[in-house]
Amino acid sequence: MGIIRSLFTSSLFLLAALFSAGAQDSLSVAEGEDLTLSRAIRIGLENNFQIKIAENNLEIARNENDEGFAGYYPDINATFDVNNGYTNSQRQASFLESLSAGNTSIIPGLEAVWTIYDGGRIRLTKQQLEQLELQSQGQVRIAVENTIEAIILAYYQVLLREEGLDVLEEVLQLSRDRIEYEEVKKEFGQASTFDILQTREAYLNDSTEYITSMTSYRNAMHNLNQVMGVQSLGRNYELTDSLVIEGPVYGLETLRTEMLSNNNQLRNLYVQRELSKISTQLEESEQLPQVNLRTGAGYNWEQTLFGTGTFADGREQELGGNLNKTLNGFINFSATYNIFNGGRRNINIQNAQIQELNAQLDVEQTKLDLNTQLENSFVTYSNQRQLIRVTSERLENARRNLEIGEERFRGGLINSFDYRQIQLQFINASQSRLQAIFNFKQTETRLRKLVGDLMR
């Protein structure tokens, strides 16, 4: 068991690292305070209720994974009996016509029952308890992994909305400048009321987009607070990390090997398969006899007081009493073997074998599903890397076009409709690039989860 717990401790090294740095203030983040992604993860891991439930279940499994709980040791019982009695008898055809007596006995004892052979059920039960602890460890890992994934995506979603607001704010400022410019032109008779109205329409439309995006940003911040387990959902932070577009270059076969070894869902199914195998062996062990050793010792202290007796000639006499002390011990063996139980034993074995087969089928189906997810995610990841480059070039081109368009608009070379189209192209290019970056980070997170890398 020491080895198993050491392995589990090392597998959760990330948790220890996260909790050790800044653990004192990890649960309190003030309004407007800087928040890194690593700190957000630290807060979420400390606050998540599902992780706490999984850890409590693990503690139960650890407590039960004990040789005594499995039945290796005997059951020892101490007994203590005190018996009291009173007798008053009348005898017509006896030299002693009447007799009264009181009796007290004290009987302490010690008894042990030990199963010395049961077809290997105790050994199999201990193996079952070990696998149940491993299963609980796997549930903790999955809860931690899901929490980390949710926090990463929520954090990047806030960054996405925040950078989108910056773009809209820049365009909104351009729309304000257009209104001022058109109003100046109108004073000199070079712009009409229609031009002013069109410019204001563009400004109001940009304002609407900005307000809508602000709502999305606040909702994203609420979601981040929720996955972090923060009670005040309206709390805002300054996110210091950025939507980094760099990502590692993966090899599909390397990812596949890591996934088959480290995927937490698959690891739990391996444990479930082993539990099914042990269950079958437990049912098969019911075909073997059970031998118990029963041993113990007892002590009997008994005192009888006869009181006064009446003889046939009418004499009455004190008869006194007697005291008995007895010490005894025993060692007994008993063997039990079920000869017939209506076929239930064979049915249980057959059902256990079917469950074992189902567990193996679950493993194979999950491998197939995970391989499909891995290949799809790998292709998507590779394509999204290229898409980021394309959208970045598109944004650079749109920004340059916007700068030139503004110069031409102020020089009277293009009208307000053409300039507005250039603005919309810039907005679309900016949003497309931000969404491409977020999708890329989302796919990267999914790939890391598939190969069991989120907790490293």
How much of the chain, in percent, has pLDDT values that exceed 90? 57
Q: Measured between alpha carbons, how far is 194 from 201 in angstroms, rounded to an integer?
A: 10
Could you tell me where the beta strands, DSSP code E, fall in 5-127?
Answer: 34-35, 75-90, 96-117
Give every CB contact of residue 24 below 8 A, 6+ residues apart in sequence: none
User: What would the pLDDT profile of 309-336 be if each residue is shown by its tens digit?
Assistant: 555 555 666 666 678 888 999 899 999 9
Q: Residue range 146-175: average pLDDT?
A: 92
Q: Residue ranges per domain, the chain?
A: 2-73+118-289+337-450, 76-117+290-336
User: What would the pLDDT profile of 339-390 be if each residue is shown by its tens digit?
Assistant: 988 899 999 999 999 999 999 999 999 999 999 999 999 999 999 999 999 9
Range in 166-175, 295-304, 408-417 with the lowest mean pLDDT: 408-417
User: What would the pLDDT profile of 41-68 be if each residue is shown by its tens digit?
Assistant: 999 999 999 999 999 999 999 999 999 9
User: What would the pLDDT profile of 222-263 be if each residue is shown by its tens digit?
Assistant: 999 999 998 888 888 899 988 877 778 889 999 999 999 999
Which among 341, 351, 304 is positioned nearest to 323, based on CA atoms? 304
**pLDDT at residue 235 in the model:** 86
Is this prediction's pTM over 0.85? no
pLDDT band (50, 70, 90) for residue 96:
low
Considering the segment(s) 2-73+118-289+337-450 as one domain, its CATH architecture is Up-down Bundle (1.20)
Which among 111, 110, 120 is positioned nearest to 71, based on CA atoms? 120
**pLDDT at residue 309 in the model:** 56
The dihedral through the CA atoms of 134, 140, 143, 144 has a sign that is negative
Helix (H) or strand (E) holding 324: strand 316-336
Could you tell me where the beta strands, DSSP code E, fall in 362-436?
Answer: none
DSSP 25: G
